[in-house]
Amino acid sequence: MEKILILNGSPRAPRSNSKRYGALFDRAWGGESETMDLLRADPGAVAERLETVSRVLLVFPLYADAVPVPVLRTFQALEERPPKNRPTLSVLVNCGFLEPEQCDVAVDMAALFCKQMGWPMGSVLEIGSGEAILDSPFRFLAAWKIKALARAVAADRPRRLKAAMPVSKAFFLKASTRYWLAYGARHGVTGEEMATMEIEGQRPS
C-alpha cells in the first residue's frame, strides 16, 4: 500500500481526539503512514512532505462551524508556496454536537482549498458527538466508519461518510450533561458553577 500523510489539524494536537481518530485510521490503513501535527509543524516541512505522497488525510475538529486555526494557517501557507505535487486530500472531521452535518461547511472549506490549489478532493468522514464517542459504547461505530474511509481512500473512490452516536437527541442532551459534569468535577468545579451566567465575572446589564 502506498504511503499516506496524516495531518492533524487540532489546536490541542498532542492530546486530541483527532490524534485518536488519526491512529484508528492508521491502523485501518495498514500500509506506511506519516503523521504531522499542523499546530507545531513548520509549513515548509509540510509542503516538503506533500511532494512525496499522492494521498493526504486531514484530521481536524470543527471550531466555530469552520476549520480550526492550524488548518487555516496551513492552507494559507501552502497557497503562498504551493508544492509542485497535487495530492488527493481526504478529510476526517469531528465535532462536539450530535449532528455530523454541522461539519458540512468546514468540509466544503477544505474542498474549496483543493479547488483553488488544483488538488483532487478525496473521501470525507464527518463524526458527530466526536468529543465523546470514542469513550462510549459506540466507539466501534466510529472505528467501523474509519475502516470504510480507509478503504475508500485506498481505492481512490471518493465517498462521503458520516458517523454519530445512534441515540435520540434527548438522550444525547442527558449524556452530554453527564460528560461535562464529570469533566468539571475533575477540576473541583460544580455543575452550578459551570452554569454561571457571568462572563469574566460580570453579568451584562
Ligand X SMILES: Cc1cc2nc3c(=O)[nH]c(=O)nc-3n(C[C@H](O)[C@H](O)[C@H](O)COP(=O)(O)O)c2cc1C
Residue 123 C-beta: closest distance to ligand X, Å? 19
* Contact residues: other proteins, CB under 8 A: 10-12, 16, 61, 63-70, 72-73, 75-76, 97-99, 102, 104-105, 108-110, 112-113, 116, 169, 172-173, 176-177, 180, 183-184, 186-187, 189, 193-205
Cβ proximity of 109 and 69 under 8 Å: no
Query: What DSSP line would sit under 132-153, residue for residue?
Result: TGGGSTTHHHHHHHHHHHHHHH
The CB-of-142 to other proteins minimum distance in angstroms stands at: 17
Considering beta carbons, is residue 84 or 187 the nearer one to ligand X? 187
Site for ligand X in 128-167 (CB under 6 A): 130-131
Measured from the Cβ of residue 129, the count of other Cβ atoms closer than 10 Å reads 27
Count of positions on this chain that bind ligand X (CB under 6 A):
17
Query: Side-chain half-sphere of 41: how many Cα atoms within 13 Å?
Result: 26
Rounded CA separation 125/67 (Å): 14
Nearer to ligand X, 28 or 95 (CB): 95
53 three-state secondary structure: coil
**Which of 23, 82, 101, 102 lies at the binding interface for ligand X (CB under 6 A)?**
102
